[in-house]
Structure 1
Amino acid sequence: MTQDPSRLDGKVAVITGGGSGIGEATAHVFAQAGATVIVTGRRIEPLEKVAKDIGGHAIACDVSNQDDVRAMFTKAKDIAGRVDVLLNNAGGPGPIAPVAEVDMNEWITCMNINLVGAMYCLQEAAKIMTAQGSGSIINMSSLMGIQGYPMRSAYVASKFALIGITETMARELGPVGVRVNALMPGAVSGANMDRILAKRAEAEGRPAADIERENYTDVAALKRWVAPEEVGRAALYYASDLSSAITGDKMKVDCGRF
């Protein structure tokens, strides 16, 4: 019997930012597909809850701290001797302000988490997967990784950069059998989006509901938000052998915002 290419049985998957939102949803999707899932993030309590729900593991890690990242990957590898999948998902929305007025300390903090932190994870995953001769890395970019967006320069810059790094690493790691792809979610429902809407409403002096319709739901062909588990299922495609010939790719998961 040929193994189902959508399954992750025997695979070990690390999900950064795994305590909530897309990370949490993907942890459930990967676990249902048979993976041993390790969720990481800064706060251990939500991670432990997710790990308990899926029969996985929780490791506290601040991705902007290189020592933390190295220690996390060492622990992750110790669990089953390998790391087969990395969902490089940890990140934050960054400051919401025009370029001329943005707080540069907040701007740099966003880049340190979304981009430098992602690179710390990519370095460790690349070393482990190169030694194994296999693996799948999924970088969490955004629709804002291919188009600029007002008031969000730090986030946009970090997500554009991740697309370039994805293509670079796909070429670097392809010869050793490691695939590297990027997901580009549109507006995903949940607490993070609620916070962004509230900040934009305050900054723009108008109702959050108007901003939601004009910028997120009405502009989508499907006229709705993306659900976190829908991004998780797209991540499963890249993580599994369904996409065994695909690397250096980027996929929109956006309810048709084109």
Structure 2
Amino acid sequence: MTSSRLAGKTAIVTGGGTGIGRAIAQLFAQEGAEVVVAGRTAAALQQTVEPFGGYVQLCDVTQEAQVDALFADTQKRFGRIDILINNAGASGPVSPLTSVDMGEWRDCIELNLFGALYCMRAAARIMSAQKSGSIVNMSSLMGLKGYPMRTAYCATKFAIIGITEALAREVGPDGVRVNALCPGAISGELMDRVIARRSEAEGKPPEQIIWENYTSVAALQRWVSPEEVAEAALFLASDASASITGDRLKVDAGRF
């Protein structure tokens, strides 16, 4: 069921080739938006837009020039940018801090934090000039609570919350809203890789890792699906949340 809640709007979805990003891009297209899907893997991006004929742009968000080109090209094509789903990111190293690979730690910061910053800055410039827009930053439950062996990821996602609140105050007078989504454990390839690394590091079978850390601790005792996060992103991107800014929304099946 669709309701054309994004009719006439243009959206950029970074990290749109898989998982949450793909689900958001496809839902937004169903709701009437013109969607530009950005990422580093052309084949995955093409699979995302295949059902709705959206636009693909290769972009490594750690490269500021590529980010600026993404936003400039989108603005030139459509005349405006109404929505940014700031989703590109990686899980980072899964290791105790005492033995973590600091190169991997820095790589996580570059992608999850600086990549998100470059996109926020480009979007804020355009949206402030047009006096409207919605930026949805992808934080995490780990942006609200620290988790063992995930120090790099937690650091980036905590930072996203703070930047969201600060930027919301900066651009609010221009009619631009900035909010953060905080998903819990999402079923899919990314979590499969995290669980495999945790299983190896902790010496426990994957099934035990899943039950002890992800499903048994949730009130609903299940994973969250990418499509459920997409529905929350739609709410924050649409006029249904017109008076909400500087906030964070958990989508975590009740992992209090």
For the superposition of Structure 1 and Structure 2, which TM-score range results when normalised by the shorter chain? Answer: over 0.9
Q: 2:228 aligns with which of 227, 230, 236?
A: 230
Task: Name the structure 2 match of 1:211.
Answer: 209
Task: Output the amino acid matched with 2:152.
Answer: A
Task: Name the structure 2 match of 1:11.
Answer: 9
Q: Which moved more, 1:63-72 or 1:43-52?
A: 43-52
Shift of 1:117: 0.4
For residue 251 of structure 1, give the secondary structure of its aligned residue in structure 2: strand
- CA distance in 1 between partners of 2:77 and 2:148 (Å): 43
Shift of 1:179: 0.2
Task: Name the structure 2 match of 1:54.
Answer: 52
For residue 100 of structure 1, give the secondary structure of its aligned residue in structure 2: helix
For residue 127 of structure 1, give the secondary structure of its aligned residue in structure 2: helix
For residue 115 of structure 1, give the secondary structure of its aligned residue in structure 2: helix
Matched, 1:150 2:148: yes
- CA distance in 1 between partners of 2:214 and 2:17 (Å): 24
Q: Which moved more, 1:50-59 or 1:144-153?
A: 50-59
Task: Name the structure 2 match of 1:101.
Answer: 99
Q: Which moved more, 1:48-57 or 1:36-45?
A: 48-57
Matches within 5 A, 1:26-105: 26-105=24-103
8 Å CA contact 1:6, 1:240 repeated in 2: no
* CA RMSD in angstroms, aligned pairs only: 1.1
Shift of 1:11: 0.2
For residue 51 of structure 2, give the secondary structure of its aligned residue in structure 1: helix
8 Å CA contact 2:161, 2:248 repeated in 1: yes
- CA distance in 2 between partners of 1:249 and 1:54 (Å): 31
- CA distance in 2 between partners of 1:53 and 1:152 (Å): 35
8 Å CA contact 1:145, 1:160 repeated in 2: yes
Q: 2:132 aligns with which of 127, 131, 134?
A: 134
Task: Name the structure 2 match of 1:110.
Answer: 108
Query: Residues 19-69 of structure 1, C-alpha deviation per residue, up to 9 Å, x if partnerless?
Result: 000000001111111101110001111112212222210000000111111
Percent identity (aligned)? 58
Query: Residues 182-206 of structure 1, C-alpha deviation per residue, up to 9 Å, x if partnerless?
Result: 0000000000000100010011111
- CA distance in 2 between partners of 1:90 and 1:64 (Å): 10
- CA distance in 1 between partners of 2:11 and 2:150 (Å): 30
For residue 50 of structure 2, give the secondary structure of its aligned residue in structure 1: helix
Q: Which moved more, 1:211-220 or 1:43-52?
A: 43-52
Task: Output the amino acid matched with 2:33.
Answer: A
Task: Output the amino acid matched with 2:211.
Answer: R
Q: Structure 1: any 5+ residue segments left out of the alignment?
A: none
| Shift in alpha-carbon separation, 1:257–1:6, aligned structure 2, 3 A | farther
TM-score, normalised with respect to structure 2: 0.98
Task: Name the structure 2 match of 1:255.
Answer: 253
- CA distance in 2 between partners of 1:37 and 1:6 (Å): 13
Query: Residues 170-225 of structure 1, C-alpha deviation per residue, up to 9 Å, x if partnerless?
Result: 10010000000000000000000001000100111110100000000011011100
Task: Name the structure 2 match of 1:184.
Answer: 182
Q: How many residues align?
A: 255
